[in-house]
Amino acid sequence: MSKLMNWKELPPCDTLAAKTAEAFETGDWRMGEKPVWHPEICIHCMICWISCPDSSVTVKDGKMTGFDYKHCKGCGICAKECPTKPNKAITMEKE
């Protein structure tokens, strides 16, 4: 039986292969709510895009186009930061 390595024995920068995040579909980590975009309200300020910790706001030609639900974890930061008033262009809704 091989002996487990402790953290000091792990090779530096070699615990995960680079550029593998896209393959992990973290969208199924959501806990029952997902962001929903309302394009008729959106002013394409891109605050949601820069705020999303999972790069799950999709963009084309400099404008928001929606969400990558395969990777969005449903944290709600985009909906909180969306600046439109009185109604938000992003709301968190039940799956």
Give the one residue of 45, 62, 85, 86 binding ligand SF4; rule: CB under 6 A. Answer: 45
Q: How far apart are the first and last CA of the chain?
A: 46
Query: Least distance to ligand SF4 from the beta carbon of 15, Å?
Result: 24
Is 77 one of the binding residues for ligand SF4 (CB under 6 A)? Answer: yes
Q: In whole angstroms, what is the distance from residue 93 CA to residue 73 CA?
A: 13
Is 36 one of the binding residues for ligand SF4 (CB under 6 A)? Answer: no
Q: In whole angstroms, what is the distance from residue 39 CA to residue 88 CA?
A: 10
Residue among 53, 39, 52, 42 at smallest CA distance from 83: 42
Binding site for ligand SF4 (CB under 6 A): 35, 37, 42-48, 52, 54, 56-57, 64, 67, 72-78, 82, 84, 89-90
